[in-house]
Amino acid sequence: MISTFGQKFTRHAGINQLMDDLNDGLRRPGVIMLGGGNPAKIPEMMDYCQHLCEDMLIDGRLVESFCNYDGSSGNDALRETLADMLRAQWGWDITADHIALTNGSQSAFFYLFNLFGGNCADGRKRKILLPLAPEYIGYVDTGLDDDIFVAGKPDIERLPGGLFKYRIDFATLPLDDDLGAICVSRPTNPTGNVLSDEEVRRLDALAREHNVPLIIDNAYGLPFPGIIFTDATPIWNDNIVLCMSMSKLGLPGTRCGIVVARPDIASAVGNMNGIISLTPGSVGPTLMNEIIRRGDLPRLCNEVIRPFYRERSMRVLDILRRHLSEEDCLVHKPEGAFFLWLWFPNLPINDLELYRRIKQRDVLMIPGSYFFPGLRQPWDHSRQCLRMNIVPEPSMIERGLKVLAEEVKRERAT
């Protein structure tokens, strides 16, 4: 007999499906991997990292990072360098005490959601509000307690060219007395939606009104890696918890998450690190510190990473439209990240069945229903979408979209 914890964390979860498919797609020849969140191996970034590691091997710093523990809040050098950069670039009033590192941002969200959500000593069960569903699949099963999420159902704005956009419906947000925190991703994974500066300010005001933090998942956003194709400003204050990582710079294997928050929250994250994993890894922070110290981070984001994904996004949208008409498939306006969010409002089968059919033909995407935690009422739309990754080579993407189009049109013809 295993514990309640064991039962919860050994059952099937959407994030496990995603990672299993990702592993399957990377290891098995012939699979068209359009599902997982692996970033692109951008040649300029690969070359840069190759030379960076060679330089740091020569002077011994990279090997040194293999051989020592950092403190439980993470590498002091990176925390200090990053704080200096954010103060200088954006005027944020922060020091190294405002920064904690984790073993990837998934670990950071496990800590934060269980810090602010779940059962409390006063008998209440605190909730994490996701104001704009759909939201990141990796949040869904992170709570030690079940049902810690509550989500806002968005307004859907139809746009020309078969596009649409989700917008926060502030009038209907479930702002209950048991609110523990508000969390958004910007750009949103899975849709590529970028909340406007005004939307972020309104969420910040709501969080302050309810005396809870606003958590911003900045895995794809500003100030880095900057995978945003529309106007947006990095926003931080002492009530915002800003989460970043090295993964979407193209270095997911380093497992380096970054939490920028007021010192008591950053310290709490560090304490959790010490109990759960002793200390974050040192290799990623050592590399990141050198990238910032050399002054290369803005150039890499603005001249290499963002242009690559912007061009790829537009190219994949063109490919999709060659195979799927606006009547067959609507697409969320791509404003950032590296996904397209596909909506099939007229398809008689649901997302899980469509996923199963294309998977049988060696094409992997992610069923959209995994991305809607916390909705209080059933919603047909949540079972009509797929998320696709735009990272693979366009020729492979086209082959995958041909298969998807064939299955969609076959079903619509019946």
- Whole-number Å distance between alpha carbons of 15 and 23: 12
Show the DSSP H helices in 120-241 as ranges: 197-209
In whole angstroms, give the CA distance from residue 312 to residue 355: 23
Q: How far apart are CA 414 and CA 411, in angstroms?
A: 5
Distances (CA, A) of 236 to 241, 262, 269, 402: 8, 10, 18, 43
The closest alpha carbon to 97, from 275, 286, 268, 290, belongs to 268
Token readout for 412 is 């619509």
CATH of region 4-42+305-413: 3.90.1150.10
Question: What pairing do the DSSP bridges indicate for beta strands 155-159 and 163-167?
Answer: antiparallel
The pLDDT tens digits for 48-77 are 999 999 999 999 999 999 999 999 999 999
**And the tokens for 184?**
């958004």
User: Does the pLDDT of residue 17 top 70, yes or no?
Assistant: no
DSSP H helical segments within 94-175, as ranges?
A: 105-116
DSSP state of 326: T
- Does position 25 have pLDDT exceeding 60, yes or no? no
Name the residue ranges covered by the structural domains of the chain: 4-42+305-413, 48-298
pLDDT tens digits, 277-335: 999 999 999 999 999 999 999 999 999 999 999 999 999 999 999 999 999 999 999 99
SS3 145: coil
CATH classification number, 48-298, choose in 3.40.50.150, 3.40.50.620, 3.40.640.10, 3.40.50.1970:
3.40.640.10
Give dist(CA 107, CA 194) in Å, integer: 23
| Residue 374 and residue 130 in contact, taking contact as beta carbons nearer than 8 Å | yes
pLDDT at 14 over 80: no
Categorize the per-residue pLDDT at 3 as very low, low, confident or very high, splitting at 50, 70 and 90.
confident
* Mean pLDDT calculated for residue range 266-277: 97
Sequence-separated (6 or more) residues with CB below 8 Å from residue 284: 246, 251, 254, 255, 256
> Which amino acid is present at 233?
T
The whole-model pTM stands at 0.94
Q: Considering the chain, what percentage of its residues have pLDDT values greater than 90? A: 88
